[in-house]
Amino acid sequence: MKAHVGVVGLAVMGQNLALNIARNGYAVAVYNRTAERTKQFVEERVKGEKIIPSFDVQSFVESVERPRKIILMVKAGSPVDEMIEELLPYLDKDDLIIDAGNSHYGDTNRRLEELSHRGILFLGMGVSGGEYGALHGPSIMPGGTLEAYKMIQDVLTKIAAKTEDGPCCTYVGNGSAGHFVKMVHNGIEYSIMQAISEVYDVMRKILKMNSVEIGEVFEEWNKSELASFLVEITYKIMKHIDEETKKPLVELILDKAEQKGTGKWTAQTALDLGVPTPSLNVAVFARTISHFKEQRKELSRIFGEKKRVHAEQRLIEDLKKSLHFSMFLSFSQGLWLIHEASNVYNYNVDLLEVLRIWKGGCIIRAKLLDLLRSILRENPQNVNLLASETTIQFVKEKLPSALKVNSIARESGVPTPVLSNSIDYLLSLTEENLPANLIQAQRDFFGAHTFERTDKQGTFHVEWQELE
Ligand SMILES: NC(=O)c1ccc[n+]([C@@H]2O[C@H](COP(=O)([O-])OP(=O)(O)OC[C@H]3O[C@@H](n4cnc5c(N)ncnc54)[C@H](OP(=O)(O)O)[C@@H]3O)[C@@H](O)[C@H]2O)c1
């Protein structure tokens, strides 16, 4: 028996994805660089599924039916190139390699180009949902040629999460569109995680709530329009008690946030493409700042204790609206970035489809996505979702609370970078007159960079001071 699909890489994601495919009725060939991991996988996790293990690359490739469809689930970066090089001698023309890791879209473009010269089809595919999603149904974002997608479409749509709007998988677009969209998904994920953490910080530092009480609030919120995977895991985290100390475990976790790069790439790309994504970008910096634990400890000692202002418990309602506001604007920024990239890189991404496949399986799935889809459906050109009556209404309801939270947090010395940058993003974009006129004047003053005028056409320069 030959396998329908091959999976390379049997760490958490690869194991679960292989099992998911097999449980949907396909025979799956598997290979991992370190044989021990393959053995362990087969012994401990395979329970009658059609999994065909191999311990060398040639046998693995030969165990997959032609044209082959081989999914790579290995560490992003050079391991993907190394694995492709190892596979190539045994592949035939029109075989398909699918890179399902978190590769940088620039690498995906390069691989697409290189492999097309060698007659091999290639898809760059984002997979979101962690190990649970990989096993039970992730959100899948494949990009490349439509021809390549068609070869694997049946498998992907079967294994993807399902919602009332269909399987959470679509052909995202040309070239590296799949990895680009997955990268921005992660950028939005960083921003929402940070916004939730800021709300938590206000609750514990200003409202003096304990973790279990905070967990109860998030649990309630998860039954409302804020319902989302990230709010759900937050309440579960808050209520998780450490067996050893009997304290909420979250209180024992060191406040240094790690990152693997996709948030940083999103921020860098937004800067390169000139799209404003301040909430997404500061979420990355918030993790960076968290790393300076020793310095923070020392400076907090030198600067002394911050005076927290008193706030009533009803601030919780404002926090809820403030979080909702930031979540909305995080999506607004991310969608705008995808739209711009789609134009610049000819991805041809359908943003409505992107929002649809984020509804299930993925880390940023949220009830809010239905609202965003309805706004975008009204006017598909409204790529940052701002120019809509629904958005105006939403902002009217949420902005006063966001401002109140921002003000109380500021007065109390609690940093809320995502909550406050979301406000500035909205205020700036809804302001006809920004002080950029002064910046232009300053640039012209010291660098003769010229400026445009509001009262006549052309480019101007003024001698602001006498040069001796
Ligand atoms: N973990 C998540 O929640 C998650 C979610 C979405 C996407 N992703 C992405 O999915 C991919 C896999 O993630 P993961 O967490 O399962 O595993 P990982 O820790 O990123 O990677 C480990 C896997 O890569 C293999 N590998 C590393 N270097 C290799 C090389 N030079 N040649 C061949 N194989 C090599 C390892 O093989 P050995 O056993 O031989 O070391 C192992 O199978 C990554 O791109 C990750 O960013 C992860």
CA 172 to chain centre: 15
Structure-block tokens of residue 230 = 């990230």
Residue nearest atom 16 of ligand 1, based on CA coordinates: 13
Report the top-level CATH class of 182-429. mainly alpha
| pLDDT the model gives residue 20 | 98
Q: Is 189 designated active site?
A: yes
Residue among 189, 264, 321, 353 flagged as catalytic? 189
- The secondary element (H helix, E strand) that includes residue 155 is helix 146-159
Q: State how beta strands 162-163 and 166-167 pair.
A: antiparallel
Q: Which CATH number fits domain 435-468: 1.20.5.320, 3.40.980.10, 3.40.1190.20, 3.10.20.30?
A: 1.20.5.320
The answer as to CATH 3.40.50.720 being correct for domain 5-175 is: yes
Pick from 13, 81, 262 the residue to mutate for probing ligand 1's pocket: most ligand atoms within 8 Å of its CB. 13
Query: Structure pTM?
Result: 0.97
CA atoms within 13 A on the CB side of 337: 31
Looking at ligand 1, which atom is closest to the CA of residue 101?
45
Domain boundaries, the chain: 5-175, 182-429, 435-468
**Is the shortest distance between the CB of 317 and ligand 1 below 6 Å?**
no
Structure-block tokens of residue 98 = 């699918």
**Is the shortest distance between the CB of 32 and ligand 1 below 6 Å?**
yes
- What distance in Å separates the CA atoms of residue 276 and residue 378, rounded to the nearest whole number? 23
Which of helix, strand or coil describes residue 29?
strand
Residue 77 contacts residue 260 (beta carbons within 8 Å):
no
Residue 198 contacts residue 114 (beta carbons within 8 Å):
no
Looking at ligand 1, which atom is closest to the CA of residue 138?
6
Looking at ligand 1, which atom is closest to the CA of residue 126?
7
**Is the shortest distance between the CB of 361 and ligand 1 below 6 Å?**
no
Q: How many angstroms separate the alpha carbon of residue 27 from the centre of ligand 1?
A: 22
Q: How many angstroms separate the alpha carbon of residue 421 from the centre of ligand 1?
A: 34
Q: What share of the chain is helix, strand, coil (3-state, %, to 5)?
A: 55, 10, 35
Residue 163 contacts residue 359 (beta carbons within 8 Å):
yes
Structure-block tokens of residue 281 = 């970008």
Alpha-carbon separation of residue 269 from 53, 156, 265, 425, 457 (angstroms): 39, 28, 6, 18, 32
> Could you state, in chain order, the average pLDDT of each consecutive group of 10 residues for the chain (468 residues)?
97 98 98 98 97 98 98 98 98 97 98 97 97 97 98 98 98 98 98 98 98 98 98 98 98 97 98 98 98 98 95 96 98 98 98 98 98 98 98 98 98 98 98 98 98 98 91
Residue among 114, 158, 182, 220 flagged as catalytic? 182
